[in-house]
Structure 1
Amino acid sequence: MPVRLALAAAALAAGAIAVAAARDDTAAAKVELGRRLFYDADLSVDGTMACATCHEQRRGFSDGNATHPGVTGAPGRRNVPGLANVAARAALTWGDPRVRTLEAQAAIPLFGTHPIEMGMKGHEAEIGKRLGADACYRAQFRAAFPSGGVIDATQVVTAIAAFQRTMISRDTPYDRYRAGRQDALSASQRAGLRAFATRGCTACHAGTDLTDDRFHAIAPPAANARDTGLAEITGRAADAGLFKTPGLRNVAVSAPYLHDGSAPMLADAIRRHDTARGLDDATIAVLADFLTGLTDAAFLHDPRLSLPPPGCPRPLSPAAAPDAGRASAPRG
């Protein structure tokens, strides 16, 4: 190859590497920005609620209450789901199949009104004003969105979604068992796994994350049910009482259960699924024991997913740290 062509090729290669590195830097900046935003209560209208207020890492990024009230104090409608491997989900809410991106989902607690959670609808401009007043945030937004522009809701939900895509849970006793470590599950848990497969649980709780991402009813809805699930969106009577199958990773630390949080313990949730009354207490016990084998301790304590360390000109609001004395609803 002539020297001139070789130099040109080298320059192009170096340019491609530089572009890729810049993209990697931007992606990492989005994740770190999203992490900080996830824990910042300034994203709620009165500064009392962050994403992390309801999504606590030690609970698999679920909550611990049946439902969680929003900033107005009105009761929540549905149980807070965990976020393990949330980027892999085809459906992202209990009852609305139209919400299929993490960006769209992140906007619901921020701006939704049914119910009001963080209460920012009508206060969208306040987001840019609050965050833009902080020098650290201004630098983080420039790094994450180098094309510039104002700090706004679109950038906020994009960054939060980038952070949520890093919430990967793949290191449970169940995973190690599937990889060939027979001793990763106890004898009781292995019996529960067999029951899980033979008693029909995998009809809905299938796949790597034990969900089919579809909508099902475990029992006919009550005639006076206030929450009709999927039917609220479709308007079809046949969809009444259908809710999305939740994934089961870290389920043992995310009580209470079901869409309304009405099952306080794993055994209660299992019994609610046993509409034919075909499970004896011993089978329920081993099923519950198997479900404890879906807990990823590393995920629950991964510092990359936790409250970011100090370093900005101002500390985060105490309300942003769920385990640091924030005000919250009583534990269920």
Structure 2
Amino acid sequence: MDFDTLKSRLKISEKQIKAILSLKLKIDELHDEYLSLDERKIRFILPFEDDYPKKLLNIRDYPFGIFVKGNIPRSKKSVAIVGSRTASEYGLGMAKFIAKELASNGVDIISGMALGVDTKAHEGAVAGSGKTYAVLGTGVNICYPESNFNLYNKLCEKDCGGVISEFPLGTNPLKINFPIRNRIISGLSDITIVIEARLKSGSLITASHALEQGREVFALPGRITDCMSLGCNKLIADGAGIISSPSDILEALDMSIDGKIQVYNEKNINILAKNDKKVYSCLDLKPKYIDDIIKESTLDISEVLSSLLLLELEGFIVQVSSNYYCKRIN
């Protein structure tokens, strides 16, 4: 019906008539959008359908429906790995290492495809030839951040996992959406691991959801002077499990360890020249200023700069900010 027809038949205001017509237009648009999902390789799954993840049904505020590109998590063991978008080199390396080892042992990895820890967790799972699923704070047809476009496509189109969202197609990355989606990350997981987090962070929101949902929480301990470790250390103080190895998680999942787990080993430094070894030995996983490296190595500045350049090019170290260096974890 048009405006004039509604006005003649209903005893309501013009404002109410315009609201009805606007709603009808939205309903028509949603219907057309729903019909186009198949050709866009997107599914919309409702809670009463067989494909709806059973783990989500066990949480109080499960989504009314989820949009999916790629696959969805099945009933196998799954672990959420979350953490800071600005994690240290150590945090990023551990996120990738833990995800890779768990994935290679058959554990699904769930995260949010944000920069930092989330991205490394997804990449680690892919490197471990496992499955990984990204729960987005946008519509599933939007890749955010854009720098993860290749990772997004890999999850959508290859047999690596999938992307999931409760938000309608075309939903932009609004700040309010990300804490909301965190309950789905934890809800899809048997265990939530927090790698690095500030005292007030989205990762702690995810951990809080996990505890409310009756799931276990583990945290990676860190130095008490590092702001990125304060959130994890508080979780541990409050009773979260400490992760010292991927085998800790496999044991918590009651999974047998198949022998693939390896303690992380640094790169083989025997191939390095004497001065390069000396400079490398001055570094650890905490960034160190170049003046301190020069002082500890007892080499002159030109020798240290030469060694740092070579070590960075060869992938032994990383310059995390101007003149601050630390060892790299692959």
TM class by shorter-chain length?
A: under 0.3
Please report the TM-score for the alignment, with normalisation by the length of structure 2: 0.26
Which protein is richer in strand relative to its size? Answer: 2
| Larger-Rg structure | 2
Please report the TM-score for the alignment, with normalisation by the length of structure 1: 0.26
